């Protein structure tokens, strides 16, 4: 790893499940694109992740301890420490396809107006079995329209230009859905987005995932974000979507999760 790599892979960790974490890290170290640093921002109460990373001995890994109160704070700390102009996000339970970094670096090099590039995702369960795909919109115009309804940029699949995200103010702290807030803020400011058609990550859908810990709060926050950034631009379909989300607040959480899976994954 050089002192100024092309990509920083930003991986926040808080007491990760170690079998998932090992698969995540291994998928990064096996990338066909090698000019990167893997920046693990660790907010764990145990030293399991730290000890395992140290045993690997790969100089591309940078492990830092953080005293973050939220994921957003850990991510902002990672942005401060990132040495590369491009930042690829990843979570501790997801897995990169071997050419994920190369594909996104090539895309951003060829499309200088794009600030954030993600991809469609392959969805796996806790046993690595493929249970579906999420067919996210690809072109900027479709992404901008979809953001009025839902988060169509899968956070662990994105690569973005660090300077643009910092100019936008980074991640908002003190809230969940910090990535959705950032994308909405950026698209309103005129930044451009894209998704790669081919899945570049295997996204793990499992009961322990953070997004399912407080589903009702997640729904309320996403509704607030949409109102904040798009209130004057809603069409009938956007209003209908929000009405459906409000209805979900009255349902049992397990049913909401099942409905999300049925609607989102093909």
**Best mean pLDDT range from 95-104, 209-218, 244-253:** 95-104
Of the candidates 176, 206, 156, the one whose C-alpha atom is nearest the C-alpha of residue 20 is: 206
3-state class (DSSP) for residue 217? helix
Q: Full-prediction pTM beyond 0.85?
A: yes
More confident residue, 257 or 5: 5
Query: Looking at the 3D structure of the chain, how many domains does it have?
Result: 1
The verdict on residue 105 lying in a domain is yes
Write out the residue range of the structural domain in which residue 156 sits: 7-264
- Could you report the per-residue pLDDT of 177-229, keeping only the tens digit for each? 999 999 999 999 999 999 999 999 999 987 666 556 677 888 899 999 999 99
**CATH assignment of the domain containing 189:** 3.90.550.10
DSSP-derived pairing of the beta strands 95-96 and 192-204: antiparallel
Q: Report if residue 17 sits inside a domain.
A: yes
Query: Residue 2: inside a domain, yes or no?
Result: no
Compute the average pLDDT of residues 163-187: 95
Is residue 1 in a domain? no
| Strand pairing category for 7-13 and 36-42 | parallel
Confidence of residue 174 (pLDDT cuts 50, 70, 90): confident
Helices (H) and strands (E) in the chain, counts: 10, 9
pLDDT in tens, 21-68: 999 999 999 999 999 999 999 988 888 899 999 999 899 999 999 888
């Amino acid at each position: 790893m050089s002192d100024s790599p092309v990509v920083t892979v930003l991986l926040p960790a808080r007491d990760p499940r170690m079998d998932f974490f090992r698969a995540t890290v291994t998928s990064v170290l096996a990338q066909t694109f090698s000019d990167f640093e893997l920046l693990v921002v660790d907010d764990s109460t145990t030293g399991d992740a730290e000890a395992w990373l140290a045993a690997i001995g790969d100089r591309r890994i940078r492990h830092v301890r953080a005293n973050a109160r939220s994921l957003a704070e850990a991510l902002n700390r990672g942005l401060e420490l990132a040495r590369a102009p491009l930042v690829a996000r990843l979570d501790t339970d997801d897995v990169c396809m071997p050419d994920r970094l190369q594909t996104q670096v090539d895309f951003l090099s060829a499309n200088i107006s794009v600030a954030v590039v993600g991809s469609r995702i392959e969805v796996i369960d806790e046993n690595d079995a493929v249970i579906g795909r999420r067919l996210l919109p690809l072109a900027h115009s479709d992404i901008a329209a979809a953001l009025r309804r839902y988060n169509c940029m899968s956070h662990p699949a994105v690569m973005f230009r660090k300077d643009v995200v910092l100019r936008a103010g980074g991640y908002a702290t003190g809230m969940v859905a910090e990535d959705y807030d950032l994308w909405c803020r950026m698209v309103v400011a005129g930044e451009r987005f894209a998704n790669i058609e081919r899945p570049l990550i295997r996204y793990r859908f499992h009961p322990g995932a953070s997004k399912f810990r407080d589903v009702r709060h997640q729904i309320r926050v996403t509704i607030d974000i949409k109102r904040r950034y798009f209130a004057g631009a809603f069409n009938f379909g956007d209003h209908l979507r929000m009405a459906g989300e409000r209805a979900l607040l009255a349902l049992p959480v397990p049913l909401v999760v099942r409905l999300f899976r049925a609607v989102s994954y093909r």
